[in-house]
Amino acid sequence: MAHQKYLKNVVTLKLEQEKCVGCGLCAIVCPRAVFKIEDDLAWITALDNCMECGACVGNCPVGAITVHAGVGCASAIIHSWLTGDEPSCDCGGGGNC
């Protein structure tokens, strides 16, 4: 699973590294191996692997990570694949994906 990529360049995951205290929890809980810990800081090394589950956000003790869990463009596109509906998300692009 960790080697499967999601859609490219649509993931809403953000890391404010200046807030990071290097606890490593994000790397531990992430099911897609998106983070690595190096020099006592978290680094995003596989952004497109992120499936926007929100586990890292929920476990970061300092609020260094944000993600729009389940509402990003990737989620919208996958939802459209499953339902046959037009993809629609909250990316701010002024309309559908």
Give the residues lining the site for ligand SF4 (CB under 6 A). Answer: 13, 20-26, 29-32, 34, 37, 42, 50-56, 59-62, 64-65, 67
Distance of CA 59 to the CA centre of its chain: 14
β-pair partners for 66? 14
Would you say 14 or 86 has its CB closer to ligand SF4?
14
Q: Residue 87 has which token pair?
A: 């993809």
Q: How far is the CB of 58 from ligand SF4 (least distance, A)?
A: 8
Which residues sit opposite 35 in a β-bridge?
A: 44
Between 17 and 96, name the residue whose CB sits nearer to ligand SF4: 17
> Of 13 and 89, which has the nearer Cβ to ligand SF4?
13
Strands 65-66 and 14-15: antiparallel
